[in-house]
Amino acid sequence: MKILTAILLLTLVSVTAVSQKQFKYTGTWVLDRSKSEGLTGTLGNADLMLIVTQDEKTLTADQRIKIRGREQPSNPLTWNMDGTESEAEVVRPLAGTMKLQARFLEKGRVLELKSIIDGYDKGKEVSVITKEYWELTSGGKALKILRTRETPGKSQQFTLFFVKQS
């Protein structure tokens, strides 16, 4: 009886682990402007590429932007996949230390990436909070990102649709 119980328990743990499978986002992703929504300002006419590396412990995203054919400085950000907070020194949207946190939603189907930075803008202390919801579509060949950015007195939301290049 003990052996049967142990086998059933191991089977249940294995099934639960498989159902909680985390999707892999590794690859080079290029923005498909025709399927993206709400792009304004700098992103309105920019070429955007996202280079993602992921392992069991971390996910690193390097957003590369070209404006009028000129590549802008990029700053790769690394999130811990276990949900613990990580940090990155950044210059945009504010200069300072950005706090990063990741978690999976909807049984691992959607990845939430959150970043918070506190700093000064025009002499006032401000916080910028960005949340992104990543979802693989088209059998892993496309990546849809819903991005919300909260700044004092302003909230922006847009959808970025990327196609996997490699």
**What residue numbers bound the domain in which 141 lies?**
2-164
| The one-letter amino acid at 118 | D
In this prediction, residue 21 carries a pLDDT of 56
Is residue 18 over pLDDT 70? no
Is residue 65 over pLDDT 60? yes
In this prediction, residue 4 carries a pLDDT of 41
Report the mean per-residue pLDDT for the chain: 86
Is residue 121 over pLDDT 60? yes
Domain count, the chain: 1
CATH label of the domain that carries residue 47:
2.40.128.20
Is residue 15 over pLDDT 90? no
pLDDT tens per residue across span 126-153: 999 999 999 999 999 999 999 999 998 8
Average pLDDT over residues 106-122: 92
Rounded Cα distance, 145 and 67, in Å: 21
Rounded Cα distance, 52 and 38, in Å: 23
For residue 136 the two structure tokens come to 């693989």
Residues, the chain: 166
DSSP-assigned letters across all residues of 39-77: --HHHHS-EEEEEEEE-SSEEEEEEEEEETTEEPP---E
What 3-state DSSP class applies to 5? Answer: helix
pTM of the complete model: 0.82
22 pLDDT band, cuts 50/70/90, is: low
